[in-house]
Amino acid sequence: MELKSYQQQVINDLDIFLEYLKKHPTPALAFKNYWEDKVGAYELKLDGTYSGMTPYKNNILKTPHIAIKVPTAGGKTFIACNAIHSIFSTYDSSRPKAVVWLVPWSNLLQQTANNLSDPTHPYRQKLNTLFNHSVEVYEKEALLQGANFNPTSVSEQLNIFVFNFSSLRINSKKKDDRKIYQQNGALEAFRDIVVEQDLVLPDTDESALINIIRSLNPLVIVDESHNAESDLSVEMLQNLNPSFVLDLTATPKKNSNIVSYVNAIELKKEHMVKLPVIVYNHSRKEEVINSALHLQRQLEQLAIQESLDGGKKIRPIILFQAQSNIKGSDNTTYQKIKEKLIELKIPEEQIKIKVSGLDELKGIDLMAENCPVRYIITVNALKEGWDCPFAYILASLADKSSAVEVEQILGRVLRQPYVLKHKEPLLNLSFVLTASAKFNETLDNIVKGLQDAGFSNKDYYAEEIITEEIPFTDKEALNRELFGGTEEVTTHFDDADITNINVDAISFDPTANEVAPISNTAISQITQKAIEEGKAFENRLTEDAGDSTEYLLREMGKEPKRYKIVEHFHQVAENIALPQFYKKLEENILNQELVFEELSQGEVFLNRDQLLSTFKLSTKNTEIDFNSVSAEVVKVDYDEKRKDAVISKFSVQAKKILVDTIVAKPKEKQIKDITSIMVSKIGNMTPIAEQEIKKYIERIFSDFSTEEIIDAVNNEYNYIYKIKAKILELANQHAKEEFKKLLDTNKIIVKPSFKFKDSLVHTKEGAMINKSLYEREGIMNNFEQSLIMDVASLDNVLFWHRNSDNKDKGFYLNGFSNNHYPDFILYTEKGNIVLVETKGDFLDNDDSKAKNILGKKWAEKSGDNYKYFMVFESKNVDGCYTAKSFLDIISAL
C-alpha cells in the first residue's frame, strides 16, 4: 500500500516543516517562518480579520506540537505511519524510537493496536518496510508486565505504545489511582536510566511506567486530537515528556498548529469516499425503514451484477442509527429496532448491534465474502470503534442532536469500497435517510458534519419526501383529529415510537430471490435523483482543478479573492494551449485491451518516473569521497534544540551502545546494520525501489573497515547527505540520457496541453504592474519585479503572466529534471510565446543548467514562435542572458 498523492503531499509538508525546525531555535519561530514563506506574514487587521497564519500556540512548552488536518476517510492512520519515519529520520539513530499513540476511546484503541500489530495489515506492512521489520506494538498491560520490554529491546526497534486518553489523563493529585504511576518491579531494569536523567515525576517511583516512558522522550501521536483539548489533556501530554507531538484530526480546534491541510476534493479524485451524500427526509420512521431496506436490496443486486462482470464483491450495509442514550430514559432503542427487523422476517444473523456495552461485531470480518451482515444498529459509530466501507446507507431513527456526532457517524458511510470507482453509479454514492420533524435542523447538522469532516456544502443533495401512504397509529390519528390534523407529531421521535412502528406498513419481503420492479415511489425518486446528482458531481469534479491555494486560505478563515483574466486579453488567452512533453506508447501496449481511455490517443503525459523505469541503481558506481566528512557532527535532535543536557547525555550513551553492538558482530552483519541505518534515514526516493537503494549502500560499505563503519555511525548525517546526493546525481544523469535518446528517436513529442485558467487565487499578491494577464498577479522578488516592469514597458509585449509553481494552476516543463515552473510567460504582438526563468547571480549551478537545457529543448521542439530564456541579474553565464541583454532580445521579437 503506497501513499495517495494527497497523502504524499502531507508527508512533504511535514518534511518541509522539519527542515524549518532544523534551521530555527524554537518551534514557534519555525512555524512562523514556515507559514510566512507559504502565505505571507500574519497581520491582525482593524476589522478583526487577519492575513497569514495565526501565531504558534505553545501548548507543550519547548516541544514541537503540530497538527495535520485530513478529512474523514482520508487515511490519517496510514499518514501517521509514514510521518513516524519522517520524524525519526531527523533524530540521531542511536536514540530509542519510542512512540506513544493516543486514542480517545477503548474500542478505537483495540482497533488501532490490532491493525498496527497485524503483519498482513497495510499499516504494519508499511511500518515493517520503513523500519526494517524491527517494530513492536505494546498495549498497557504488556508494558506493565515488562513483556518483551527492556532497555535492550527499546534500543533496537521501533516501539509503539498504544494508550487511550483515560489511561494517562488524570488529575496530578490522583496518580495512585493508575497503575502506570505506581512502583513496578517488572521494570526495575530501567531504574538507573530514569534516575540518571532526573526525569521522575513528583510522588512517583523511578520504576513507574510513566517514568520509563518519560525517559524515552517519545514521539506522541494524538489520534482524533480534537478530543484532547482540556487542561487535563495538556497535563497528560506534558507528563509524557515528548520530543514531538503530532495531532491527527478532521476537525482541529483553534489552538492547533496546523502544518498541512488536505482538500476534500482530493479524496474523491482518489476514490477514497462515496460522494455526493444523498439525503432524504421522510414523514415517518416506517418509511425510513422501508426505503432503506429496498435501497439496500437494489444496491446489492447492482453489486452482484458488477461482480459477475469482473468487479469487486460488495455487500451493501444499512447503518441504523438508534436514539442516543439519554439519562433517565429507557436506553434500549437499539434492541427494539432489532426486534422490528426480525419481525419483518429478516434473518437474525444478518443483524448486529454495535453500541457501548454490546458488541455483536466482535470477531466478525465485515469485508469477508461469507459474512452475512447487512444491517448494523448503532448510536455513535466512531466512538463504538468499528469501520466498514460496505456501509452505504445511514437510516437515522433518532434526532440529530450534535454536529460532532453526525460527523462521526457520517464518516462510517463515506468510505469507498476497495478505493475504486465502481461501474454502477449508485455504488459510488452514500445515502442518509431520516424522519425528522426538525428536518432543517437535521440537515444543518448533516451539512455541518460534512464540513467538519473536511467536505463542503457542494458534497450533498437533500430532499424531503412527503407521503401519506402509511396509515397513522391510533395515537397519531387521535392527535390529528383533536389538534387540527396536519402538523408533525413530536411523539414520532420518542423511544416509544420505535415500539409502535407498524411492521405491516413496511412492504419488504426478505425472502424474495429477485428484485421486483420498483413500485415504491420514494425509492424511484431517491435512486433517479441520486444518479443525476452523482453525474453532476462527477462533472463538477472534472471541471474543478482542486485549487489547493484557495482551499488553504478558506481553511485559515480567509475568503480568497479571485482575479480574472483581464477582459481585453481574454480572447487571445483562450486560444493559447502551451505545449508539454508526451511519450509515445509502444506498439505492444496499444494492441492490448485498453483499461484507460486516455491511452487510446497513443501517448501519455511524460513524467520523470517514466525516464527512470530502466534505472538500476544497484549496478551504478559507488565512488563517493567520504574523506571530507567532518568529525564534528551537528545532530538533528529536538532535545538539543531545547538545550536539554541530560537528554543529550543519554543520547551519547545510547550512541556508544549502538556502536558497541554493531562492532561486536561479524563483518557481514556490520554491513547489514549500517546499511539498515542509512536506508531508514534516506527515506523515500520514488521511483527508485528501496531494495535497489539497499543493494547500492551495501556495496558502498562492503570495503569499509570496522573503524570506518564506526565513523559512519558517529557521523551518519554527513554520510547520508553524501550518499543521497550521489544517488540523485546518478538518477539525474540517467533521466537526462534517456530523455535525449527518446527525443532523438521521436518517442517523445510535444503537443498542446496547458490552458490558462479563467481566474486565479494568490496566497500572496504582487504589485499592480501594467499589461498583466490577470487583474492581479502573484508575489515577486525584487529582481523579478524590476525585470517585469521593464518588460511591460516594451511596445511589442502584449501581456505577461507571473507563473505559479502550484501544480493546480501553474504551467510546468515536464522532462528529465523535476517539474520546472518558469517564472514568467510573455506574449508578444507578433504571437511569440516566451518563457522566462529568472536567477539570482548566486544560482549558477547544476540545477539551473539542467533547467536551461530542458527549456531550450522545449522551445526547439515546440516551433519558431516559442522561446525560452534563463536570465541572470548581472552575471554572464554560458547559454543564458543578463537582464540588460534579455531586454534587447525581447524588444526584437
DSSP letters, 11-71, are HHHHHHHHHHHHHSSSHHHHHHHHHHHHH---EE-TTS-EESPPPP--SSTTS-EEEEE--
d(CA 756, CA 577): 8
pLDDT at 339: 87
Tens of pLDDT, residue by residue over 853-885, are 999 999 999 999 999 999 999 999 999 999 999
pLDDT at 59: 84
Whole-number mean pLDDT of the chain?
81
Q: Which helix (H) or strand (E) holds 862?
A: helix 846-862
Please tell me which residue, 82 or 550, carries the higher pLDDT value.
82
Confidence of residue 288 (pLDDT cuts 50, 70, 90): confident
Residue 14 pLDDT exceeds 90: yes
Please say whether the beta carbons of 285 and 433 come within 8 A: no
pLDDT at 277: 84
Q: Where are the alpha helices (DSSP H) in 544-578?
A: 548-555, 570-574
Please say whether the beta carbons of 140 and 167 come within 8 A: yes
> How many angstroms separate the Cα of 718 from the Cα of each of 92, 198, 677?
12, 32, 13
Tens of pLDDT, residue by residue over 43-90, are 766 665 667 788 899 888 889 999 998 887 788 999 999 999 999 988
What average pLDDT does the segment 515-523 reach? 58
Q: Of the given ranges (92-96, 552-556, 724-728), which has the lowest mean pLDDT?
A: 552-556
Beta strands (DSSP E) in 165-266 are 219-223, 244-249, 258-261
CATH 3.30.530.20 fits 271-545, yes or no: no
Same-fold call for 60-263 versus 271-545: yes
Query: Cis (ω within 30 of 0) for the bond into 425?
Result: no
* Residue 17 φ/ψ, nearest 5 degrees: -65, -40
Residue 734 pLDDT exceeds 50: yes
Q: ∠438-440-444 over CA atoms, to 5°?
A: 120
Please say whether the beta carbons of 542 and 563 come within 8 A: no
Instruction: Tell me the range of 374-388, 451-465, 678-692, 755-769 where mean pLDDT is highest.
Output: 755-769
> How many angstroms separate the Cα of 722 from the Cα of each of 7, 623, 700, 705, 715?
28, 11, 12, 19, 11
Nearest to 584, CA basis, from 749, 410, 437: 749
Residue 691 pLDDT exceeds 90: no
Q: Name the region of 126 (left: φ>0; alpha: ψ -120 to 50; beta: rest).
A: alpha
Please say whether the beta carbons of 63 and 242 come within 8 A: yes
Dihedral of alpha carbons 79, 85, 86, 88, sign: positive
Cell 492575513: give the residue.
51
**CATH topology for 562-576+755-890?**
Trna Endonuclease; Chain: A, domain 1 (3.40.1350)
Q: Which helix (H) or strand (E) holds 448?
A: helix 439-452
Half-sphere exposure of 693 (CA within 13 A, CB side): 26
Tens of pLDDT, residue by residue over 142-173, are 999 888 888 888 888 899 999 988 888 766 55
Beta strands (DSSP E) in 399-467 are 430-434, 460-464
Residue 364 pLDDT exceeds 60: yes
Q: Of the given ranges (126-130, 519-523, 624-628, 862-866), which has the lowest mean pLDDT?
A: 519-523
Confidence of residue 130 (pLDDT cuts 50, 70, 90): confident
**CATH topology for 60-263?**
Rossmann fold (3.40.50)
Number of other residues whose CB lies within 10 A of the CB of residue 824: 21
Q: Which helix (H) or strand (E) holds 342?
A: helix 333-343
pLDDT at 75: 87
For the chain, which residues make up each domain, given as ranges? Answer: 60-263, 271-545, 562-576+755-890, 617-735
Residue 769 pLDDT exceeds 80: yes
Tens of pLDDT, residue by residue over 494-503, are 444 555 677 7
Cell 549502538: give the residue.
658
> How many angstroms separate the Cα of 696 from the Cα of each of 126, 370, 700?
21, 46, 6
d(CA 626, CA 721): 11
Please say whether the beta carbons of 94 and 657 come within 8 A: yes
Confidence of residue 644 (pLDDT cuts 50, 70, 90): very low
Q: What percent of the chain has pLDDT over 90?
A: 36
Please say whether the beta carbons of 378 and 319 come within 8 A: yes
d(CA 180, CA 143): 9
Please say whether the beta carbons of 31 and 259 come within 8 A: yes
pLDDT at 801: 97
User: What's the grid cell of residue 278?
Assistant: 444523498
pLDDT at 591: 46
pLDDT at 451: 62
**Maximum CA pair distance of the chain?**
97
Please say whether the beta carbons of 574 and 693 come within 8 A: no
Confidence of residue 109 (pLDDT cuts 50, 70, 90): confident
Please say whether the beta carbons of 430 and 460 come within 8 A: no
Q: What percent of the chain has pLDDT over 70?
A: 78
d(CA 150, CA 146): 7
> How many angstroms separate the Cα of 798 from the Cα of each of 340, 573, 826?
73, 11, 8
